[in-house]
Amino acid sequence: MKDAPENLGIDHDPVRHPEGCRPGLDCDHWVIRGARLRDPSSGLDTTSDIYLGGGRIVGIGEAPDDWPQDTAEHVCAEGHWLIPGVIDGWARLREPGQEHKASIATESAAAVAGGITTVVMPPDTVPVLDTVAVARYIKRRAQLAGRARVVAIGAMTQHLDGELLAEMAALDAGGCVAISNAHYPFHDLRLMRRALEYAATFDLQVLLQPLDPSLSERGCAHDGAVATRLGLPGLPVSAETAPLAQLIAMISETGARVHVPQLSSAAALKLIERAKADGLPITAGVSAHHLWLTEMDTDALDPNAHVIPPLRSIRDRDALRRGLAEGLIDTVVSDHQPHEPDAKLAPFPETEPGISGLETLLPLVLKLVEEDVLDFERAIDALTTRPAALFGLSDAGSIAVGQRADLALIDPDAMWSLGSIGMASAGENTPFVGWDFAHRVETTWVNGRRVFLREP
């Protein structure tokens, strides 16, 4: 175990990784007593004991026949909620290639601290995730880290350069849960159409983020009143809607299953709504920050509010909230992009875009529940059931006997506020420092192992 995550250096910090959540130290049989089990996918909402063994849920309410009463670990969880672990469908872990920003070890630890048990990584790593070798490397690194499960999305074109198709079928066979060209454009529409046709041959799930490279050139903020006042190069809504309309036309011709990971505008949502009504195999997601922040948050030129797609108008944000509540938007993702401090130490347009979002994904979505924007069932559905279905993770995303024991225990009455110092992620670039939240993840199990325990 030469390159166990403990040897990375970064991992030594005893504050970040208390002994209690070291991998391999915890036992395999758990009984969680008295928690309120809440899983909208099966309509489960009951206070009951739950038994975990061999990485699976083995009993709800009563222990299985061969339960090792003496060696099993007990957790008293009265007053807490137990939900299926969150599946984050779009998060950069920066490894391989950008370990100066973060690593799979640090970020999968941050994920479980935020109740995320499965992280889905886009293929824009260095080298690009366009070969099975890279996919295997990532899987192995995640196993060594021993926190969240990390699954990868393979590249649609070689090096993501949009010119030659990647070996999509091989990537699929090698364990990739979907394919994508990340935020990189195709060289031309013909190649895009062929890539979709090829993917449809094998019924692969495709993820494409519509962003026109010429309309978004230099743009760093929503093309609206705030960017006009600050003199920031604007990124118009048409940079999203124009390529999305093209994509929809291609889907209707090729029948490819396509998911748009991050909508940012009301106009794009309208296109999705129409395409869904036409019965096209299209789904969509939104990042948690687009449900809370708007162009007004770039007003102070805070580089932590620099994201692509940009934070748009209040009307856009409200439309996205409604779309999520109605189920038109299927999933919510973190769009996690951890950065080293230097990446944000420059004038706003020159900073690297992105928010470190793993630890705020679940809190921000549950905050929408508190404010009556969403009901709890829809919130958990968007974070667990729908992404599980999207990525074909049939044994995750719900609480039922036989399912993977990927669970998050939440204290629903913990008043806390986000402090940058307490973050587990290597990236502290978040505009949510100082925000107050009511729900907090206390314990996380992945594959039946306790991988996170919040220190008192």
Partner 1 sequence: MAVKFVRPKIPKFAPDPWAIQFDDQGRLRHLLTIEGLGPQWITRILDTAEGFVSVTDREIKKVPLLRGRTVVNLFFESSTRTRTTFELAAKRLSADVLNLNLATSATKKGESLLDTLRNIEAMQADMFVVRHDQSGAAHFIARHVAPHVSVLNAGDGWHSHPTQALLDAFTIRRHKGDFTSLRVAIVGDIRHSRVARSQMHVLNSLNVGELRVIAPRTLLPTHVEKLGVRVFHDMREGLKDVDVVIMLRLQRERMEAGLLPSEEEFYRLYGLTEEKLAWAKPDAIVMHPGPANRGVEIESSVADGPQSVILEQVSNGIGVRMAVMSLCMSANRGENA
Work out whether 10 is an interface residue with partner 1 (CB under 8 A). yes
Work out whether 231 is an interface residue with partner 1 (CB under 8 A). yes
Dihedral sign (CA 168, 170, 171, 173): positive
Work out whether 76 is an interface residue with partner 1 (CB under 8 A). no
Work out whether 228 is an interface residue with partner 1 (CB under 8 A). yes
Work out whether 173 is an interface residue with partner 1 (CB under 8 A). no
How many Cα atoms sit within 13 Å of 444 on the Cβ side?
29
DSSP assigned state of 233: P
Considering only CA atoms, which of 263, 291, 287 is closest in space to residue 91? Answer: 287
Query: What are φ and ψ of residue 439, in 5° steps?
Result: -95, 135
Work out whether 229 is an interface residue with partner 1 (CB under 8 A). yes
Out of 173, 300, 401, 415, the only residue in the binding site for partner 1 (CB under 8 A) is 300
How many residues contact partner 1, by CB under 8 A?
A: 30
As given in the structure block, the two tokens for residue 160 are 């993501």
CA-CA distance, 93 to 53, in Å (whole number)?
A: 29
Work out whether 227 is an interface residue with partner 1 (CB under 8 A). yes
Q: Which is nearer to partner 1, 225 or 314 (CB)?
A: 225
CA-CA distance, 379 to 316, in Å (whole number)?
A: 19
Work out whether 3 is an interface residue with partner 1 (CB under 8 A). no
Select from 10-18, 205-213, 391-399, 437-445 the region that touches partner 1 (CB under 8 A): 10-18
Work out whether 62 is an interface residue with partner 1 (CB under 8 A). no
Cβ–Cβ < 8 Å for 113, 63: no
Site for partner 1 in 234-253 (CB under 8 A): 234, 236
Q: Which is nearer to partner 1, 92 or 312 (CB)?
A: 312
Q: Which is nearer to partner 1, 7 or 46 (CB)?
A: 7
Q: Based on the number of CB atoms within 10 Å of its own CB, is 190 exposed (0-12), middle (13-18) or buried (19 or more)?
A: exposed
Q: Which is nearer to partner 1, 132 or 433 (CB)?
A: 433
CA-CA distance, 406 to 403, in Å (whole number)?
A: 8
Q: Which is nearer to partner 1, 226 or 258 (CB)?
A: 226
Counting every residue written for the chain, the total comes to 456
> Pattern 13-42, binding to partner 1, x per CB under 8 A?
x-----------------------------
Considering only CA atoms, which of 285, 357, 291, 345 is closest in space to residue 321? Answer: 291
Amino acid at 20: G
Out of 170, 191, 230, 369, the only residue in the binding site for partner 1 (CB under 8 A) is 230
Site for partner 1 in 405-434 (CB under 8 A): 428
Active site positions, annotated: 335
Q: Which is nearer to partner 1, 9 or 279 (CB)?
A: 9
How many Cα atoms sit within 13 Å of 145 on the Cβ side?
31
Cβ–Cβ < 8 Å for 124, 91: no
DSSP string, 357-384: -TTTHHHHHHHHHHTTSS-HHHHHIIII
DSSP string, 11-22: GG-TTTS-GGG-
Q: Which is nearer to partner 1, 16 or 450 (CB)?
A: 16
Query: What are φ and ψ of residue 73, in 5° steps?
Result: -85, 140
Out of 169, 267, 301, 414, the only residue in the binding site for partner 1 (CB under 8 A) is 301
User: Least CB distance from residue 226 to partner 1, whole Å?
Assistant: 9
Site for partner 1 in 315-354 (CB under 8 A): 341-342, 344-350
User: Least CB distance from residue 165 to partner 1, whole Å?
Assistant: 33
> Pattern 183-222, binding to partner 1, x per CB under 8 A?
----------------------------------------
CA-CA distance, 140 to 146, in Å (whole number)?
A: 10
DSSP assigned state of 232: P
Select from 230-238, 249-257, 357-365, 375-383 the region that touches partner 1 (CB under 8 A): 230-238
Out of 85, 154, 224, 243, the only residue in the binding site for partner 1 (CB under 8 A) is 224
Query: What are φ and ψ of residue 270, in 5° steps?
Result: -60, -40
Q: Which is nearer to partner 1, 106 or 444 (CB)?
A: 106
Work out whether 435 is an interface residue with partner 1 (CB under 8 A). no
Select from 53-61, 83-91, 128-136, 229-237 the region that touches partner 1 (CB under 8 A): 229-237
Q: Which residue has the tokens 């093309």?
A: 223
Contact residues for partner 1 (CB under 8 A)? 9-10, 12-13, 223-225, 227-234, 236, 299-302, 341-342, 344-350, 428
